[in-house]
Amino acid sequence: MLISLLHAYSSLFYSYNRWFGAMLLFASFLHPFSGFCGVLGWGSAVLWVRLLRYNPALIKDATLAYNPLMTGLGLGALYNPSGQMIVMVFLISSITFLCTLFWWNILQKYNFPFLSLPFLCTFWGVVPALLSMHTIQTTTFEVYYLNTLYAWAGKEGLAWYEYLNGQLLPVFLHAFLQTLSVIFFQNNIFTGFLVGLGLWIHSRLAFLYALWGYSVAFGFYWFSGIDVAQLLAFHAGFNYIIIATAIGTYYTVPSWSSLVTATLAVFCTILLAQGLQHVFTHLHTSAYSLPFVLTSLMFLWALRQRPLNQNPQLSLVQYFSPEKNFYRQSNHNERLKNLWYIPIEVPFFGEWIVSQGYTGKHTHLGEWAEALDFVIVDEEMKQYNRDGLRKEDYYAFNKPVTAPASGWVVAITNVTEENEVGEVNTTENWGNSIVIKHAEGLYSQLSHLRKFSFRVNIGDYVRKGDWIANCGSSGRSPVAHLHFQLQSLPAVGAKTLAYPLGYYLSGRQGRKVLQCFKVPKEGEFIENIALNPLLQEAFNFLPALKNEGLAALWQCHTDAYNASYLYCPATQSLAYFVHDGTMFYFTNFEGDKKSALFYFYLACYKVLQGFYEEVEITDSFPLDLFVSPYNVLNDALAPFLPLTQASYKLRYKRIDDTHHTRQIVLESTVEVRFFKQLVKKYSFTIVLENGGIAQITARVGKEEIIFKPPTVI
């Protein structure tokens, strides 16, 4: 239950950091009765969840608890302690809980947060009823705060407070700290200092955005002639702090564009706060956090109307840490964009060259611009041997054509005769063709195939890499070549679709480079990945795994979204992964960073399922995985000026037999650099044998760790 309470406090700043929650809890008790009532408000929510038999997780993650908590804090700060008041705090916090259920039910349909709307409704609709209760008196705690402080800390404590309050701190910083204390309905720099320190510990970015939001408001008040003292009145200043933090670091990924958006949100909140307060003054109450709520909902609505991955980017997965949101989403945007695509492979064996690419000079024009033509050439860049006067002289003629991805054959034309060299058939432009459906709205078309060479029929299901026909010279094809395009419709000759190939090797002989989800360029030599059975079997993790080495028992599971992950019960660590048939790679890690699972995650972060000594696999890690003394500076500047990089490299060192492989040795390294200076390095040797991973040797500094990851059972 203590964790639930700490989450409720830290969630006031969109955090689940327990240390931050503990500091906020302590800060709330600088006004003892307010702190007590805050806990009582949270307790009322816990009681109602249990009575109504709601999911307890709604309390643990503070979804239903933080508004009753705010109500308790506010009531405790506004009224004197008494038995009657304790009863009223419980009752009014219970009303806030019911109000939370109401707003949650309405706004979750549109995927919008209810923010502090339940608290606002309670304070406007129910709290005024206390004015008619003569036994309940408003507090004088803040008025006589110095007397209370003297009673607690004596003359020395009072002297320090007056020194901090009047001499040591600049006016701006003094006002900032006082404003931070407003969340607990207090007005003193001690509370503000604790809140600010906790916010800095939780997130350097959140603290900087909070400071920036207040700075913008402070400057605007001064520039427009508004009395700066109003920042502390009516809880106005806290609206500007929390809107900058929410829009700039929680709902969007921190960046220059999120900073600009947060600044605009602050200006909008200022104008709303000024206008609304004139209305609420006549109602003898305050707007409280209403300007923040309205601005948040308006900006969220506007940001969600855009296509995905537009700046500022919305936080698609919420880690409740601005730094972690930034590190993970930035890393995922770069290396996991392929998850949006079905891997399409090169539709042939061996090395071919792109003779005509997208928007070609001859036929790839207009609605058919996104297509590729392939031919085979020799060392002299000739497409044929002998004199090249016969179609059989061309290297591409009659070569196997393979399915670029699994799917259903939906169209075949197989009636066009082959052209003699130099002739073209513009009447039957596409020649003999095949169209395969891979998904709704995604089809591949392979054209200029040889007549009667088809190995499949309409309605057949083909698997990626199956031999489906032979290359020919039919249709508009003066010499043998393969035309390949992707399209959104099943008809032969449909409008083309720009779409990358999944994995292929580019370059010739020893200069090959692995390309991932790119469109080959004209003149580029490309080759399909030749898969190695030992690599495929070693990384073919399926549910039900065991570890026979030093690590505790590991398990393989899939979550509700059908994502696969390895789980170590001993360390409660998990590592998400993808195996798409050509590439094995990890996508996320959570847990113990000294566990064998973490070292396995680092060592095999990305492994191509084919053995190529000349190919080097490279990738990058999210920086939150690596704790270093430089992280404080890097956390604060990462969205604007990246200082740290964490890179991955894997090399294929040794194979005993290419055709009947019994052993493969891989080597990988992980390097963390700050200002390009190496600050941490991991080195790994991975040995594959007997259809699995026989051993991994990890070297971290002078330490060497040897373990065996799980094998499939």
451 neighbors 418 (Cβ within 8 angstroms): yes
Mean pLDDT value of segment 525-530: 91
Q: Which of 527, 543, 571 is a domain's end point?
A: 527
Residue 167 has pLDDT above 60, yes or no: no
Phi-psi region of 305 (alpha: psi -120 to 50; beta: other; left: phi over 0): alpha
Residues 372 and 441 in one domain: yes
- Tell me, yes or no, whether 443 and 539 share the same domain: no
* Amino acid 143: pLDDT: 47
The last residue of one of the domains, among 479, 509, 527, is 527
Q: 170-209: per-residue pLDDT in tens?
A: 677 878 888 888 888 887 788 888 999 999 989 899 999 9
**Tens digits of per-residue pLDDT, 64-116?**
888 999 999 989 888 888 888 899 999 999 999 999 999 999 998 888 999 99
Residues 514 and 408 in one domain: yes
Tell me: do 506 and 655 sit in the same domain: no
On whether residue 239 sits in a domain, the answer given is yes
Cβ(589)–Cβ(332) under 8 Å? no
Q: What percent of the chain has pLDDT over 90?
A: 45
Residues paired with 693 in a beta bridge:
688
- For the record, the structure tokens of 680 come out as 């941490």
From CA 261, how far away is CA 248, in angstroms rounded?
A: 7
d(CA 343, CA 580): 8
Q: In terms of domains, do 55 and 137 share one?
A: yes
Confidence band of 293 (pLDDT split at 50, 70, 90)? very high
What is the dihedral sign for C-alpha 68, 73, 74, 79? positive
* Cis status of the peptide bond prior to 639, with omega within 30 of 0: no
Specify whether 89 is located in the same domain as 140: yes
Question: Dihedral angle at the C-alpha atoms of 342, 577, 680, 627, nearest 10 degrees?
Answer: 110
Of 502, 527, 552, which residue is a domain's last? 527
Q: For residue 599, what pLDDT is reported?
A: 92
* Average pLDDT of span 507-518: 84
Residue 268 burial (10 A CB sphere; 0-12, 13-18, 19+)? middle
Is the torsion defined by CA of 382, 386, 389, 394 positive or negative?
negative
pLDDT average, residue stretch 338-354:
90
Supply the CATH number for residue 392's domain.
Answer: 2.70.70.10
Q: Could you tell me if residue 245 is inside a domain?
A: yes
pLDDT at 549 over 80: no
**Residue 627 scores a pLDDT above 80:** no
Mean pLDDT of 549-576: 80
Residue 395's pLDDT is 93
The per-residue pLDDT for 355 is 92
Residue 666 belongs to some domain of the structure: yes
Under the banding of pLDDT at 50, 70 and 90, the label for residue 640 is: confident
Which residue type is seen at 138? T
Q: Are residues 305 and 414 in the same domain?
A: no
Looking at the structure, tell me whether residues 515 and 583 fall in a common domain: no
Sign of CA dihedral 383, 386, 390, 395: negative
Calculate mean pLDDT across residues 636-648: 85
pLDDT of residue 135: 74
- In sequence order, what are the residues at sequence separation of 6 or more whose Cβ sits closer than 8 angstroms to the Cβ of residue 660? none
Residues 549, 419, single domain; the answer is no
Alpha-carbon torsion angle 263, 269, 274, 279, nearest 10: 170
pLDDT of residue 25: 92
Residue 410 lies in a domain: yes
* Six token digits for residue 492: 């032969």
pLDDT at position 629 is: 54
Confidence grade of residue 164 (pLDDT, cut at 50, 70, 90): low
Q: Side-chain half-sphere of 602: how many Cα atoms within 13 Å? A: 27
pLDDT at 178: 82
What is the spatial distance between Cα 105 and Cα 109, in angstroms, rounded to a whole number?
Answer: 7
Check which CATH number belongs to the domain holding 218 and give it. 1.10.3430.10
C-beta of residue 74 within 8 angstroms of C-beta of residue 26? no
d(CA 699, CA 388): 57
- Could you tell me if residue 589 is inside a domain? yes
What are the structure tokens assigned to 8, written together?
Answer: 């409720």
Predicted confidence (pLDDT) per residue in 371-403, tens digit: 999 999 998 889 988 887 888 899 999 999 999
User: Do the Cβ atoms of 399 and 376 come closer than 8 Å?
Assistant: yes
What is the largest distance, in Å, between two alpha-carbon atoms of the chain?
A: 110
pTM, two decimal places: 0.81
Q: Is pLDDT of 284 > 80? A: no
Residues 677, 544 share a domain: yes
Strand 663-674 and strand 644-655: pairing? antiparallel
Question: Does 495 share its domain with 355?
Answer: yes
What strands lie across the sheet with 371-375, from one edge to the other?
461-462, 407-413, 432-439, 442-449, 482-487, 371-375, 351-356, 525-527, 501-506, 513-518
The answer to whether residue 343 sits within a structural domain is no
Q: Tens digits of per-residue pLDDT, 259-275?
A: 999 999 999 999 998 88
Q: Say yes or no to pLDDT of 508 above 50.
A: yes
Let me know how many helices (H) and strands (E) the chain has, helices first: 18, 25
**Total of domains in the chain:** 4
Written as one string, the DSSP assignment of 3-55 is HHHHHHHHGGGT---HHHHHHHHHHHTTSHHHHHHHHHHHHHHHHHHHHTT--
Residue-level pLDDT at 58: 76
- Domain annotation covers residue 225: yes
Backbone angles phi, psi at 192, to 5 degrees: -60, -40
Domain shared by 566 and 452, yes or no: no
Between 160 and 353, the more confident residue is 353
Instruction: Read off the pLDDT band of 552 (50, 70, 90).
Output: very low
SS3 356: strand
CA distance 482 to 490: 19
Full residue range of the structural domain in which residue 551 is found: 533-712
Q: Considering the domain boundaries, does residue 332 fall inside one?
A: no
Query: Per DSSP, what are the bridge partners of residue 433?
Result: 413
Closest CA to 213 of 187, 231, 191: 231
The label of the residue with tokens 């916090």 reads: 93
Contact 63, 118 (CB under 8 A): no
Please compute the mean of the pLDDT values over residues 363-369 and round it to a whole number. 88
What is the residue-averaged pLDDT of the chain?
A: 86
Look at 430-434, 505-509, 535-539, 682-686 and tell me which has the smallest mean pLDDT. Answer: 505-509
